[in-house]
Amino acid sequence: MAASQRVLIVSEHPYPSHATLRRNVAQLLDLGVRVDLLCIASTKGDHPHLRIFSLPMQHKRTGAARYLEEYVVFFVWAVTLALGLSIRHRYDAVLVDNPQDFLIFTTLPARLRGARVVLEMFELTPELTAARMRISRRHPIVRLTRWIERIAFTLADHVIVVSQKNQDLLTQRGLDARKVSILPNTIPVAILPAPPNHAGSSTFIVTHCSLIERYGVQVAIRAFALLHPRWPELRLRVLGEGELKPALVRLTGELGLDDRVVFRGFRPWDEAMAEISQAAVGVVAIVADGYGELLFPTKLLEYVQHDVPVACARLPTIADYFADDSLAFFEPGNPADLARQIEGLLKDGEAARGQARRAKVALSAISWDVLAPRYIAALGLDTRSPAAVEAC
């Protein structure tokens, strides 16, 4: 029965600040499933069916060597702990996520005891590696990541991806499409702060993301510099941390925007959501670097769920889900085009609110209410209540 079901989750993401991980855990707890979570930098569990095992490590986006060090440290810790837990408990399912595809090996002890193994692929690691390291997709390092990826999805009983484009690429690389579910990173409305009815009235625009080149904060700052002479009271808030922050701060100074661009740093998820919900415009400035084209960012969906009008880079995966009248699309990497789209939203509040409403309608097709049954089915869990199961 549901109350006796047990799931092990292995994720090198922080809980509860990683929104999708938080969503996944909440869904299982709502079903009455007992969850053992292996993650990083977590707070204490706040539910009797949730046990959190946390490695006190923060991601430091400072280069390939640091990434590799983090991956190895977490893997050794997780595989050791997963072995002990799998000996003590019989799990119904084990869920691991990436970009560390080799975390699939942490599932082997539980698999030997009958657990269903599910791989949630937030990223396509070969493309991510090529873009991050600026190397050819035929480079030996990228070929190694593709080999590990293939092992991972072959060992998994089921694979979760975030978009149809990602599924198409993986099936071209040998993944059996029959064992794939597409689950975009939408968040249940129940765990979101209630947004005020404000669109178009705020005095700031916002972008929130890890501060790396791919997410285009440098493009947003340059666009803001073009807007500033005509909108002197407007501010740009940047939420997040990352390796590019020193360069972004320097750029802000060079453009004379020190008192107009506010770097808010990392904010706990609840605080970040409360802040973005008050923005006049949310900016998604992902650049087309060979990997950005594959992204379907959680940050975009969070703006839409909070009724915030969005100026968004026109990238193919995003355009698959949102029509031209639901987002203010601009050419990726083009500050002037981004500035035009933001200004259009600022000038016409009613049009901006209409755009936000249309975006929310588009999002309803992939809302968590629609996707949650797919998630539970992917894990192979019994969705019936305990009483119903006992009556069988």
Residue 138 belongs to what domain range?
A: 2-186+367-391
146 lies in the same domain as 267:
no
216 lies in the same domain as 297:
yes
158 lies in the same domain as 258:
no
264 lies in the same domain as 150:
no
Residues with pLDDT less than 70, the chain: 1-3, 58-64, 190-201, 384-392
130 lies in the same domain as 70:
yes
CATH number, domain of 339, equals: 3.40.50.2000
Omega within 30 of 0 (cis) for the link into 232: no
Whether the CB-CB separation of 279 and 310 falls below 8 Å is answered with no
278 lies in the same domain as 229:
yes
Where in the chain does DSSP place strands (E)?
6-14, 34-40, 50-55, 93-97, 116-121, 158-161, 180-182, 204-208, 235-239, 261-265, 281-284, 310-313, 328-330
Global pTM reads: 0.90
269 lies in the same domain as 350:
yes
Beta bridge partner(s), residue 118:
95, 158
Q: What is the pLDDT of residue 389?
A: 42
Residue carrying structure tokens 């080149």: 213
Q: What is the pLDDT of residue 383?
A: 76
Q: What is the pLDDT of residue 197?
A: 52
In the chain, the N- to C-terminal Cα span, in Å, equals 10
Rounded distance between C-alpha atoms, residue 303 and residue 187, angstroms? 11
206 lies in the same domain as 164:
no
Q: What is the pLDDT of residue 2?
A: 45
List of residues 6+ apart from 248 with CB closer than 8 A: 211, 217, 218, 221, 238, 263
How many folded domains does the chain comprise?
2
Rounded distance between C-alpha atoms, residue 206 and residue 283, angstroms? 6
49 lies in the same domain as 116:
yes
Rounded distance between C-alpha atoms, residue 309 and residue 359, angstroms? 8
227 lies in the same domain as 326:
yes
pLDDT tens, position by position, 251-302:
999 999 999 999 999 998 889 999 999 999 999 999 999 999 999 999 999 9
19 lies in the same domain as 51:
yes
Q: What is the pLDDT of residue 192?
A: 66
357 lies in the same domain as 372:
no
